[in-house]
A = this chain, B = another copy of it.
Amino acid sequence: MAEHRPRDDAAKPILIVGSVAFDSVETPHGRADMALGGSASYAGIAASYFAQPRVVGIVGDDFEDHHMRKLSDHGVDVRGIERADGKTFHWKGRYHENMKDRDTLETSLNVFQRFDPVIPEAYRKTQYVLLGNIDPALQLSVLDQAGGGAQFVGMDTMNFWINTARDPLIEVLKRIDLLFINDEEAMQLADEWSVAAAAERLLRMGPKFVVIKRGEHGAVLFGPKLTLFVPAVLLSNVVDPTGAGDTFAGGFMGQLSRVGGLDRSALASALTWGTVMASFTVEAFSVDGICGLAPEAIADRRKTLIEMVRY
Residues of chain A touching chain B, judged by Cβ–Cβ distance below 8 Å, are: 97-99, 193-197, 200, 214, 216-218, 220, 227-231, 234-238, 265, 268-269, 271-272, 306-309, 311
Q: A193-B97, A196-B235 are in contact. Are A217 and B220 (CB under 8 A)?
A: no
Is the pair A218, B217 in contact by a Cβ cutoff of 8 Å?
yes
Given A196-B234, A197-B237, 11 more contacts at CB 8 Å?
A: A98-B193, A194-B237, A197-B236, A214-B217, A227-B234, A227-B308, A229-B309, A231-B231, A269-B311, A272-B311, A309-B309
CA separation between A97 and B193, bound complex, in Å? 8
CA separation between A197 and B237, bound complex, in Å? 8
Closest Cβ–Cβ distance, residue A35 to chain B (whole Å)? 23
In the complex, chain B residues whose CB is within 8 Å of the CB of A308: 220, 227-229
Is the pair A236, B311 in contact by a Cβ cutoff of 8 Å?
no
Is the pair B234, A309 in contact by a Cβ cutoff of 8 Å?
no
Is the pair B200, A236 in contact by a Cβ cutoff of 8 Å?
yes
Chain B, Cβ-Cβ closest to A231? B229
Q: A214-B217, A231-B231 are in contact. Are A196 and B236 (CB under 8 A)?
A: yes
> Which of the residues B194, B218, B306 comes within 8 Å of A231, measured between beta carbons?
B218
Q: A200-B236, A218-B217, A231-B218 are in contact. Are A193 and B99 (CB under 8 A)?
A: yes
CA separation between A271 and B98, bound complex, in Å? 27
Complex A-B: 23 CB contacts under 8 Å? A97-B193, A98-B193, A194-B236, A195-B216, A196-B234, A196-B235, A196-B236, A197-B236, A200-B236, A217-B217, A217-B218, A227-B234, A227-B307, A227-B308, A228-B309, A228-B311, A229-B231, A229-B309, A230-B309, A265-B311, A268-B311, A272-B311, A309-B309
In the complex, chain B residues whose CB is within 8 Å of the CB of A195: 216, 234
In the complex, chain B residues whose CB is within 8 Å of the CB of A307: 227
CA separation between A99 and B269, bound complex, in Å? 33
> Which of the residues B217, B220, B306 comes within 8 Å of A234, measured between beta carbons?
B220
In the complex, chain B residues whose CB is within 8 Å of the CB of A99: 193
In the complex, chain B residues whose CB is within 8 Å of the CB of A268: 311
Closest Cβ–Cβ distance, residue A281 to chain B (whole Å)? 16
CA separation between A169 and B299, bound complex, in Å? 41
Closest Cβ–Cβ distance, residue A115 to chain B (whole Å)? 36
In the complex, chain B residues whose CB is within 8 Å of the CB of A234: 194-196, 220, 227
Closest Cβ–Cβ distance, residue A186 to chain B (whole Å)? 12
Chain B, Cβ-Cβ closest to A29? B193
CA separation between A229 and B268, bound complex, in Å? 17
Residue of A194, A196, A309 most packed against chain B (CB within 10 A): A309
